A and B are shown apart, each in its own frame.
Chain A
Amino acid sequence: RKEVEQDPGPFNVPEGATVAFNCTYSNSASQSFFWYRQDCRKEPKLLMSVYSSGNEDGRFTAQLNRASQYISLLIRDSKLSDSATYLCVVNPLEAGGTSYGKLTFGQGTILTVHP
């Protein structure tokens, strides 16, 4: 089983649509969680961190369910510029209790927003 699993998509949605991505992770001791976006042939860029209480940043809402080891990202009012690959990222806790800075990436979900 992959450490971080995502539906690779692709998701093709019209402008203005609401789209949701899901992600599951296998390490129950994982410490922190993120969504990154990656444009073609570029480095990943942090979109937002994900907290158990849920957090929102403009049109983007992220949720974490630790009991289910499930992370979600909701994008409202999609824009053409939202077209990218969205990466679910987990900072795992290793044996010995260290995890400093190491990130485990999901495969990514491809989103294409069309006019």
Chain B
Amino acid sequence: GAVVSQHPSWVICKSGTSVKIECRSLDFQATTMFWYRQFPKQSLMLMATSNEGSKATYEQGVEKDKFLINHASLTLSTLTVTSAHPEDSSFYICSAPSLKGASTDTQYFGPGTRLTVL
């Protein structure tokens, strides 16, 4: 099946620094990717939709200037958490759907990136 990778798998950083997370579709092209965040004991919450060649669309309550998304190619989307603070510590997961264009498309999830901000 299709594979989505994320890098890094975990990162620890100091408060105020920026962290970049990469999401790659390894054997298929993805014009759209999704970024989710999951806090402990909570469900995944969609943060934004990453669109290849255009601006990302953000869910309500997600600061676009804090969570910068760049979908530079059909196989790569990056999420940069700028000026990270301890409350940004979370599990960040990306996903990419297959390209059939149907609402029932399979979503392929990356393995997630665990961010800890000290």
Number of A-B contacts (CB under 8 A): 57
Stretch at the interface among B13-21, B82-90, B96-104: B96-104
Does B106 lie within 8 Å of A102, measured CB to CB?
A: no
Does A101 lie within 8 Å of B32, measured CB to CB?
A: yes
Cα A101 to Cα B109 with chains together (Å): 12
Chain A interface size, as a band, is: 20 to 34
Give the dominant DSSP class at A's interface.
loop
Instruction: Answer whether A101 and B111 are a contact pair too, CB < 8 Å, given A44-B44, A107-B42, A108-B43.
Output: no
Cα A41 to Cα B32 with chains together (Å): 25
B7 contacts partner chain A, Cβ-Cβ < 8 Å: no
Does A105 lie within 8 Å of B44, measured CB to CB?
A: yes
What is the minimal beta-carbon distance from A59 to any residue of chain B, in angstroms? Answer: 21
| Contacts A107-B42, A108-B43 known; 5 new A-B pairs at CB < 8 A | A31-B103, A43-B93, A43-B110, A101-B32, A101-B97
- Residues of A that sit less than 8 Å from B by CB: 31-32, 41-46, 49, 87, 91, 93, 99-108
Interchain residue pairs with CB less than 8 A apart (6): A43-B112, A100-B97, A101-B49, A102-B34, A103-B34, A107-B43
